[in-house]
Chains A and B, each alone.
Chain A
Amino acid sequence: MATGITNINNMAPELPLQFSEDLLSTPMFNLIHSFGSDLHYAEAHIGKTTRMSRYERLSTDGGQLDGSGIDPAPEVVVRTDIDATMEIYAKTVVINEQVTLYENDKVLTKFTALLGQWLREKEDLLMRDLYASSVSYINATGGVNGDQPSEISRNDINNIERILLGNDARTMLEGIDADLKFGTAPTRDAFIALASTDITPDLQNVQGVLLKNAYPHQEGLRPEEYCSVSRFRFFVSSKAAKIPGASLLGNTVYTIPMYGLEASAKIEQNNYSAILGYRPPYVVSSVAQNSQLYAKFAIARAITNQNWISGLNVTSRL
């Protein structure tokens, strides 16, 4: 070793580390389970259950007058009530003063942002649970992996389209017009399908799949969108519903809700939809050393029309 040279061997850096100018990203999963739901609002002071009602259409049978003067039999109007119970969720972070004193970052600001992210993620999972629990699904059988349900196939997707169209469901997304661009193709007006990222290799193999990059236009597309098949546009999330060990052979089953307009509802409580708050140290701690951040929100959820939502249970192959 050279002598007489002042180097880091004999004079170590004063600070052992330094922070980069920017924080790294906090992971966040794709939020796909709320944007297709109708948003309703509940007033305060009138109970925690919200009722959404629908008058069913009248029968089109008969109705011709034969000239006898006898009136047609009256039809009793049917009203269907869909009810949902408001529920409140909360998360809190308690911070010791030494954290705020020594941390380089403005931790209260950062932690508030984390709580905001929690709000949106929790809401997404609650809507996912609604779809996973309260909707009838059909096992895919058009695949070749030998399990029941099989991996997803075009025939299975067409079957769900037939069910939705047969029940007079309306598509939710507008078509994308063709354009003079190589490798692109138009999409039809479409229903929504929500799937796990675990099955994206299988989605790529479905007959007729149009991956997102092959849409003629990319403006306004959500980053969570993956592809289009037939009358469905697929949105994917790592937190989409799946049930371990639920297939005929004991493999993981992925649940794919597929639906159109007004199939489900998300109800927010007026003045309580999302609350972020701060409790100062003199409130939280007897020696004023701990402060508290919290987030709260209220939500009710419901499947509002089972005729306009269906879906597939699938396993994976690839």
Chain B
Amino acid sequence: MPFTILTGDSFTSTGVGVKINLPSSADYFVTTNITQMPLAPNPGVVIRGEWYGSKFGVGATAANDGIRWKKTNSTNALLIDTFATSTASNGFTYITTSPYVEAQAANAITAITAASPAVVTQTNTYSEGDFVRLYSTTGMLQIGGMVFQISSVSGSGYTLTGLRAAGFAAAATAGFTRRVSKNAAVDPEFLYITEITKATQAVVRTSVDPTPYYVVGNKIHFSVPASFGMKEINQLTGTIVAVSAANYTVTVDIDSTAFTTFAFPTSASSPTSALFATYAPAGSATTFNPNTLVQTGYEFQKTPFHTGQFTPYMFLAGGAQSPAGASGDVINWMAYKLET
């Protein structure tokens, strides 16, 4: 038999990148946009994508690339080229090792506003919900090296929901980003803290949405250097009593009312200040209410330590010009393996 079809399935696109876990290494991968295939939209969209693995030698697909079959504007005529050529768009990225990143080319920033939330100006091809690491952020060096989840993404910029930068002395005027993985090699993972309120139950904001990793009842351990002000919470362990995907926050049972105010160090002092403030998983404390019969503090998919990202997998970039399609598109995919 010349090849094996490893696996295949379909999904309805939400317009963002999709990871396809593969039970074995793959040599060929194909996607078909079932929704767009019979249509002739303007502008034309990608209806089929192909990826070739390393067994194809010089013909192998580069990271974030692949062959795209694209309808030309308003007709059924097909244009076949690669994702990287003509009007470049994101394609396939095959990941075999962990920790890992998907497409990680450095991309220049022109500005980050000192606002709450902060807004980044940058020509980009990122997708909604992507994680990016910022560095060399001139004027805002205190966040250089942190990973942020991005939202309200357009081709010219996006919002950092997890960064309340109104208290910063100045906006950033330059810098770089690299897209990184949304999952660490092992979950639950440590997260970067960007804000802690002074309250009877402290509300802790992180640079990414914490809800994929933490649930009510989980315990978290704080590491907050004195350079961030609220040194009293450093090395304390708290139990999560609420989580918010909209605000990127968790609320913990730690009374921070009398603590020193949490604040990032200044940009000027950052090269010599201890960075960063983080929290890490410290177990769970399950509770059970005998009156309501409700048990809290546990989710089998999140709470136990487990591999954050299965490998190998294929990352399909999202969008009308990419293999994962635009929101609402039905995408069929199949992975193959050569036997010789």
Contact = CB atoms under 8 A, between A and B. Distances in A.
Interface stretch (A100-108, A109-117, A127-135): A127-135
B307 interface: yes
B106 A148 contact: no
B270 A83 contact: no
A129 B98 contact: yes
Interface stretch (B4-12, B47-55, B179-187): B179-187
B186 A134 contact: yes
B273 A141 contact: yes
A136 B225 CA distance: 11
B271 A130 contact: no
Residue among A79, A138, A241 with most chain B CB within 10 A: A138
B166 interface: no
B141 A248 contact: yes
Given A78-B285, A83-B305, A245-B135, A135 B190 contact: yes
A303 B305 contact: yes
B223 A79 contact: no
Interface stretch (B13-21, B75-83, B275-283): B275-283
A79 B285 contact: yes
A135 B225 contact: no
Contacts of B104: 244-245
Interface residues of A, number: 48
B99 interface: yes
Interface string B98-123: 11000010100000000000000000
Contacts of A78: 285
Contacts of B133: 245-246
Given A134-B281, A137-B278, A307 B308 contact: no
A213 interface: no
A85 interface: yes
Interface in B191-226: 219, 221-223, 225
Interface string A253-276: 100000000000000000000000
A249 B219 contact: no
B305 A301 contact: yes
A228 interface: no
A83 B301 CA distance: 11
Given A85-B305, A129-B185, A136 B145 contact: no
B241 to A, nearest CB: 15
A24 to B, nearest CB: 26
B130 interface: no
Contacts of B190: 133-137
A163 B280 CA distance: 15
A133 B189 contact: yes
Interface in A224-259: 241, 243-250, 253
B283 A82 contact: yes
Contacts of B322: none
Which of A82, A133, A159, A301 has the largest number of chain B CB atoms within 10 A?
Answer: A133
Contacts of B271: 146-148, 248
Contacts of B278: 136-137
Q: Is the interface of A mostly helix, strand, loop or mixed?
A: mixed
Contacts of B99: 129, 132-133, 241, 243
A152 interface: no
Given A80-B283, A133-B308, A307 B145 contact: no
Nearest to A48: B304
Interface in A159-195: 159, 163, 166-167
Nearest to A139: B275
Contact of A130 (B223, B282, B305): B305
B184 A133 contact: yes
A246 B306 contact: no
A147 B273 CA distance: 11
A253 B145 CA distance: 9
A300 interface: yes
Interface string B280-306: 111111100000000000001001111
B178 interface: yes
Contacts of B136: 248-250
- Looking at B145, B176, B223, B237, the one whose CB has the most chain A CB atoms below 10 A away is B145
A314 interface: no
Nearest to A242: B99
A267 to B, nearest CB: 10
Given A134-B186, A246-B133, A248-B270, A49 B308 contact: no
16 contacts: A49-B300, A80-B283, A83-B304, A129-B98, A129-B185, A133-B186, A133-B189, A133-B308, A137-B190, A139-B145, A141-B274, A167-B235, A246-B133, A248-B270, A249-B135, A307-B221
Given A85-B305, A133-B99, A307-B221, 20 more contacts: A78-B285, A80-B219, A80-B285, A83-B284, A130-B185, A132-B99, A133-B185, A134-B189, A136-B280, A137-B190, A138-B225, A139-B274, A146-B271, A148-B271, A245-B106, A245-B133, A245-B178, A247-B135, A250-B176, A300-B304
| 3 smallest beta-carbon distances between A and B, as pairs | A129-B185, A136-B223, A133-B184
Interface of A: 49, 54, 78-85, 87, 129-130, 132-139, 141, 146-149, 159, 163, 166-167, 241, 243-250, 253, 300-303, 305-307, 310
